[in-house]
């Protein structure tokens, strides 16, 4: 077994479909024991990236290293994968599904993962169980091979608050008790922020940024507010250099960038003959900040610190 502190390393990874959607030139590293989130909206490329990690698709360009091995398909057995939509085998019960997949791993029934606690539903048809339980069954199957890396595609989607709490406790246990590396996807910042240690922001198939929680908190304190009666003209001046902005009123613009750019923005506007009534530093919520990076839909005023 190759010993390395880096569980996953992607370099210039690309896969483009005929409709031009896909991922382009994605590079990142995930360390052993880290909980990493690929954050992005629909068509960002999150699921596509996971499909390449498990070998469903082969990258058109770039490289994948798993556990230091550039022949990453040799390491597939060390990966557990939980898809976004849970799968069931006909009307098999939870227990029968676990037994079915356990055969390929040589796992005995007494070794089924106890952290999931499926004993109360193990004899019921899995397809008739609530979504959360189906996800737990799929997670149980993914853990049969005792993986070192677990992939969770949009795991909190469709779950209520209590179910999310239970899933968070399971993810925390996998890390704390087994030093397992976790890669999950989604947009559920408020939920995931309680366990995630690093975020990779995907938008339009490209990795826009990699951020730690501390960096996100730091950046959320940095937002430039501009008040001008010439909003439309101001936008034409600033959007080339500062494409992440929000119009919050007839005379108010918020630009998502470091506060160090305030003088530069002011100079550009004034030299273009645009009246600047007010320019200052303000803040924003982490949800707003990540949404702006990921190209999300504009959020309401309640999402901003004024």
Identify the helix (H) or strand (E) that includes residue 30.
strand 22-31
Report strand pairing: 149-152 vs 181-186. parallel
The DSSP annotation for 59-92 comes to: -SEEEEEETTBSSGGGGGGGEEEE-SS----TT-
Say whether pTM exceeds 0.95.
no
Task: Name the pLDDT band for 15 (thresholds 50, 70, 90).
Answer: very high
Question: Rounded distance, CA 240 to CA 104, Å?
Answer: 55
Question: Rounded distance, CA 95 to CA 199, Å?
Answer: 35
Question: Rounded distance, CA 269 to CA 279, Å?
Answer: 11
pLDDT by residue (tens digit) across 76-122? 889 999 999 999 999 999 889 988 998 888 887 777 776 677 777 77
Cα–Cα distances in Å, from 42 out to 10, 133, 195, 296? Answer: 21, 25, 23, 9
- Two tokens at 107? 């796992």
Lowest mean pLDDT among 11-20, 130-139, 240-249: 240-249
Question: Rounded distance, CA 104 to CA 100, Å?
Answer: 8
Report strand pairing: 245-247 vs 223-227. unpaired
**Burial profile 20-40: b = 16 or more Cβ within 10 angstroms, e = fewer:** eebbbebebbbebbbbbbbbb
């Amino acid at each position: 077994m190759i010993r390395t502190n880096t569980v996953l390393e992607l370099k210039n990874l690309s896969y483009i479909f005929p409709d031009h959607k896909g991922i382009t030139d994605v590079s990142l590293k995930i360390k052993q024991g880290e909980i990493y989130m690929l954050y992005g909206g629909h068509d960002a490329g999150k699921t596509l990236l996971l499909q390449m990690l498990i070998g469903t698709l082969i990258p058109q360009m770039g490289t994948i290293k798993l556990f230091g091995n550039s022949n990453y398909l040799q390491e597939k057995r060390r990966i557990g994968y939980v898809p976004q939509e849970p799968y069931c085998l006909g009307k098999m019960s939870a227990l029968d599904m676990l037994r079915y997949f356990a055969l390929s791993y040589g796992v005995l029934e007494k070794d089924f993962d106890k952290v999931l606690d499926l004993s109360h539903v193990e004899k019921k048809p899995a397809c008739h169980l609530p979504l959360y339980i189906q996800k737990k069954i799929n997670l149980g199957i993914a853990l049969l091979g005792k993986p070192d890396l677990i992939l969770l595609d949009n795991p909190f989607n469709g779950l209520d608050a209590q179910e999310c709490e239970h899933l968070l406790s399971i993810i925390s246990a996998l890390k704390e008790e087994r030093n397992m590396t976790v890669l999950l996807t989604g947009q559920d910042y408020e939920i995931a922020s309680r366990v995630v240690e690093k975020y990779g922001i995907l938008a339009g198939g490209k990795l826009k940024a990699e951020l730690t929680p501390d960096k996100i908190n730091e950046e959320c304190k940095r937002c430039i507010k501009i008040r001008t009666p010439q909003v439309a003209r101001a936008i034409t001046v600033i959007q080339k250099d500062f494409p992440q902005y929000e119009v919050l009123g007839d005379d108010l613009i918020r630009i998502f960038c470091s506060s160090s750019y305030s003088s530069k923005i002011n100079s550009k506007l004034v030299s273009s003959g645009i009246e600047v009534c007010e320019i200052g530093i303000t803040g924003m919520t982490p949800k707003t900040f990540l949404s702006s990076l990921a190209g999300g839909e504009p959020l309401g005023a309640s999402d901003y610190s004024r």
